[in-house]
Structure 1
Amino acid sequence: MMIKVFIAGATGWVGTELSKKITQEKGLQLVGGLSRSKGGADLASILNLGNGPIPLFDNITDALDLVDFDVMIDFTKPEIAKSNVIAALKRGKRVVLGTSGLTDADFKEIAAVADEHHTAILAAGNFAITAVILQKFAEIAAKFIPHFEIIDYASGDKPDAPSGTVAELAYRLSKIQTPELAVAIDDTVGRKDARGASINGIQVHSVRLTGHILGVEAIFGEKDETLILRHDAGNGAEPYIKGILMAVNKLSTFEGLKRGLDTVMDI
């Protein structure tokens, strides 16, 4: 059965490569996209896809009224992603969400909408398989090591902090246990904010600096021993594409909200 796909953020960094890949995939058909700067244009012509037209819209309402699709993939901005997702879910569409910057409260609201309309959304801070494996290893470590913090690396122009990868990791580790602190943050001598931000009870330190692309370190410590788990991303979008396509094909297997690509993987 052909799955009709709509990409919100179709002309962005991930969306561009994803659009090209979907047009080559058996069982998937790219039928439209969202682009605030190129609404009304033809995505097939812009990206030289060779099969079209594939209409672009500047708002999700018009897209939902005019395009028949099964799955929306959202890689936009946090200030519009939530409204895109809720609008699509209310129309019974299934959603893959890769946009970072949404809060736990946002996800609670999104989950309620998905449940009410008997559809599905898979949200992940990172669709790269190596990042997914880091999260699983970190969850294992958190079961046995009560002292851990997270370092979040990204380029200097990334506006949101922490990254979606780190926000998701902190959320998941907090479900295992809250780290023990030898010195409580409130007892810190000097600048308390130098100890980072508490995200779900876990200290997170966000570095935003030219030279970084995207990375995460989960650091675990015990007396006389340290475990460091690290993932680094390069310039290309290819590591994310494989995971996104996996998510698209798994959406029909559940209802409601799932957070993390590994929730639909056999690991």
Structure 2
Amino acid sequence: MSEFDLLDTESGNAVVVALDHGIGMGAVEEFEDPATTLEAVLEGEPDGVLVGPHFARRYSDAFTASDADVLVTADFVAPSSQPGENVGPWVQTPAFDTDRLLACDPVGVKSVLAFGRHDRRAFERNVDYISALADELDGTGVPHIVETVMWGKEIPARFETDARYVANACRIGWELGADILKVPYTGDVDSFEPIVSDAPVPTMVLGGPSSGSVRATLDDVAGAMAAGARGLIVGRSIWQTEDPAAVVAALRDVVHRGASVESAWG
């Protein structure tokens, strides 16, 4: 049995669909109607869905009717102060207190630790927040999921999945109190395996912007699982597809049954 309910599955892994994008990005394409997108995702029977606490409250009936666990996002992260625009500078701040988060009875609370900022004070506030939230969740039984990302302009986009950067970010993440890491896949098993094995906490992979290819997403997830990852927390690469339920089902085959990409997706 896993230390955490999130990973208390037959395989010990989890397929989680991220649907928290509306908090900072607004009505994202293919997520304009939250009820419809949620319904399509739940049809695929994911192990969990990551949402904002008020989303969880407003759509509680849908979650109750499904077997999916709820995970909640703790902070507001937006690419701009202009709603729905990606023009910078990006904004991050704590958005919900711990009582509000825990009222959702979640199996995980996620926050973002973003590297590469020009603004040192903003990064310091981010570190303070991550460590404080870890302390507040300690002893509750709800794991703190820290998403380590290289979003700041001081890190060129080509290095966002660089193994050295990802390894260092993961180390900092769990040293600050992460119970579970949500990280970029580095692109191959050989470079990702040491990152996973060196971390004393479970590692799950994130999705980022949709690649437009379900097979590419499945290939990355299969590689991450072969390296020892415990599953995924992915959003747009699932619900910006023609059939989100089918994609979730394929991911379940890969993550829980070790199926090949070819057999999972045909």
| TM-score over 0.5 for the pair | no
Choose between structure 1 and 2: higher helix proportion. Answer: 2
- Normalising by structure 2, we get a TM-score of 0.32
Q: Which has the greater radius of gyration?
A: 1
